[in-house]
Amino acid sequence: MGRYTGPKARKNRRLGAMVFESAGAIRAADRRDYPPGASQRRRKPSNYAIALREKQKIKYYYGLRERQLRKLFATAKRMKGNTGEQLLMLCERRLDNIIRRAGLALTRPQARQGAAHAHFQINGTTVTVPSIRINAGDVVTVRNRPNLKVFYKTLIDSGAANNADWIEFDADSLTATVTSLPTYEDVSLPVDVGKVVAFLSR
């Protein structure tokens, strides 16, 4: 199954978090503070339902398929430290997330589309895979094509901005330099990652 392309506000309301950043999805979620299809919660959710909801937050926020999430989880389990924290930090290092964090896109889906359409280069090499894992010292730039330069400069003028201390962005050259790896404190998604680890470990 592909990525979710349905009503984004519905998912924001269902998961109780702004996993989709489009203006329409945020406005619709603000108008209603209860899940879609009900005026109020009819019963207390089970532990399984709570854990599933937390896992879904990560999937939709970073635009992952189930298989991608489980592969990242397997990698995180092999790393030193807290598995849940390592999982989120691996998600933060994806190319599409770097593009979004640097301010070269308004949403992660937009960043993913730009990466898939070969709008960006990593250390001078054109790439088309949004899930590429970025390392400290890597430089992400917009390809030197006039139409792309104009598009991304217009995007920045419209309000896109760098929101990561670990990324240094030059708006003139449209260059994002990853100065250090993200830490768990850099993750902005409100999620109980311990429940996610328990769910994926079943």
Question: Phi and psi at residue 114, in whole multiples of 5°?
Answer: -60, -40
How far, in Å, CA of 68 to CA of 45, rounded? 27
Pair (129, 72) in one structural domain = no
pLDDT at 26: 52
Give per-residue pLDDT as tens, 6-17: 666 666 666 666
**What strands, in cross-sheet order, belong to the sheet with 167-170?**
125-126, 120-122, 139-142, 175-178, 167-170
Mean pLDDT of the chain: 86
34: containing domain: 8-91+191-200
Pair (85, 133) in one structural domain = no
Lowest mean pLDDT among 36-45, 151-160, 177-186: 36-45
By DSSP bridging, strand 139-142 and strand 125-126 are unpaired
**pTM (global) more than 0.85:** no
**Dihedral sign computed on CA atoms, order 132, 136, 138, 140:** positive
CATH number (domain holding residue 164): 3.10.290.10
Give per-residue pLDDT as tens, 84-115: 999 999 999 999 999 999 999 988 889 999 99
Q: Do residues 138 and 178 touch, judged by C-beta distance below 8 A?
A: yes
